[in-house]
Amino acid sequence: MDQRSFEEAVRSSWAVRESQAAKKLLSGRADTGGRGAVTGGAHLDAMTELLARAFRDAGFPPDSVRCKSGIELPGYFRPTKKWDLVVFHEGELVAAIELKSHVGPSFGNNFNNRAEEAIGTAVDLRQAYDHGLLGRLRPWLGYLLLLEEAPSSLRKGKPRSGGFPIDPAFADTSYLDRYVILCQRLRNAGLYDATCLITSAREADAPIRQPDPEIGFATFHGAIMARLEEIGVLPPRRN
């Protein structure tokens, strides 16, 4: 997967957000904290399509790779959960990927929400599989997050504690640092088979960064292909 397509997908997220926020303003509805850009949806469609293309290029037929408006999968602690991208092969769930973004100004208010979502979503689906709700094949799970680079997401600080000492890894960390730790540990704990953290500022010419190559996009894409090869469900490549 080429670097240009990846960067275009990231920049598309910002363009769509700006367009959605503008539509809210033109409609006369106030856009508190950039919420209009989020509730409009679709800002990660280009990134979702880029990942979907990886499966199609590997040989999966288009109707096996589903990403438009998400697909609901069974849960264990709740009836269903809508995933952003799901892939099937011969009636088996091959992969499910969740894509999220975190844009300011409310980094402090929303970091824990994002962490709880990521943890809970994976645990729910893993339990659904363990209880026989998802067929015989253990699905590959992926998590991708796009974080805005802004002064408040990059500023370091000391997390508050309720009396017990916090993990030293979180001492004097920014929200970016905490997301790196979150994505690393989600993967290391086996909740997700691969995670990806991408950062960028809103400006059109802002650099796109990947703070840790182990949770970068190339590694994420490579993990998809490696896992499919390993479990033997990768269809033959088309000539």
The pLDDT tens digits of the residues spanning 71-89 come to: 899 999 999 999 999 999 8
Q: Which of 9-18, 25-34, 195-204 has the lowest mean pLDDT?
A: 25-34
> Whole-angstrom Cα distance, residue 46 to residue 177?
26
Q: Is residue 110 part of a domain?
A: yes
**Residue % of the chain over a pLDDT of 70:** 86
Q: Is residue 23 part of a domain?
A: no
172-203 pLDDT, tens digit each: 999 999 999 999 999 999 999 999 999 999 88
Q: Give me the amino acid identity at 136.
A: R
> Whole-angstrom Cα distance, residue 76 to residue 126?
8
Q: Indicate the number of domains in the chain.
A: 1
Q: Specify the pTM.
A: 0.88
Residue in the structure block whose two tokens are 């010419």:
205
Parallel, antiparallel, or unpaired: how do β-strands 140-148 and 194-200 relate?
A: parallel
Could you list the residue range(s) of the whole structural domain that residue 62 is in? 42-231
Q: Is residue 28 part of a domain?
A: no
Angle at 64 between CA 62 and CA 66, to 5 degrees: 85
Contact present, 221 and 195 (Cβ < 8 Å): no
Chain centroid to CA 45: how far? 12
pLDDT average, residue stretch 83-97? 93
Q: Is residue 124 part of a domain?
A: yes
Contact present, 122 and 143 (Cβ < 8 Å): yes
Which is more confidently placed, 222 or 2? 222
> Whole-angstrom Cα distance, residue 60 to residue 237?
9
Q: Is residue 22 part of a domain?
A: no
Q: Is residue 208 part of a domain?
A: yes
Give me the half-sphere count of Cα atoms (radius 13 Å) on the Cβ side of residue 192.
29
